[in-house]
Amino acid sequence: MSVAFTISDLRQCPEFFDTVASRIWQAWWEAEGASLDSISGRLRENMSEAPIPFALVAHDGGAFLGTASVIASDLAERPKLTPWVAAVWVEEKARGHGVGAALVERAVEDCFALGIVRTHLCARPRMSGFYEKLGWTLLERQVGRNGLDVFFRNASASAREFNSPP
């Protein structure tokens, strides 16, 4: 089954804001004791006109399929690494149809378009193979109390030339 979808900046589709906040909260923060309101407050930072942070949403018309964000820092143990692709979530019904890969690729392409030459992400070890298949390079394994794997992706020389001002 093929899934048709569009990827939009959340600022252009604010109707998905509550759903994105809920999915991020449920996936990563609810078990940590964070409130949904606190996560919504952090997500509101993505709604400003600043280039980073930003959130993307995959959707089929009005149906939410997934999300990914780009934030300044995602791992307290590595504060000097920036920016990060973070909070990648795909609805169960849309998994296995390229939605996650497309969200991650769009997030990193948007970073490179801003002139950023290296982007990072961290993932649970069970997801490492997914990111490696997408061209991410493993930097470190088992970082922090959650034992996350840290990856990076560099802009290609041709992309840097394309994105450089004349």
pLDDT tens-digit readout, 122-139: 999 999 999 999 999 999
Q: Residue 48 phi/psi, 5° resolution?
A: -80, 175
DSSP 96: T
Is this structure's pTM higher than 0.85? Answer: yes
Residue spans of the domains in the chain: they are: 6-163
Tell the CATH superfamily of the 6-163 domain: Gcn5-related N-acetyltransferase (GNAT) (3.40.630.30)
pLDDT tens-digit readout, 60-82: 989 999 999 999 999 999 999 99
| Spatial separation of the C-alpha atoms in residues 64 and 46, rounded to whole Å | 18
Query: What b/e readout covers 140-166, taking b as 16+ CB neighbours within 10 angstroms?
Result: eeebeeeebbbbebebeeeeeeeeeee
pLDDT tens-digit readout, 110-120: 999 999 999 99
Q: Which distant-in-sequence residues (6+ apart) come within 8 Å of 22 by Cβ?
A: 36
pLDDT tens-digit readout, 16-34: 999 999 999 999 899 889 9
Averaged confidence pLDDT in the chain: 91
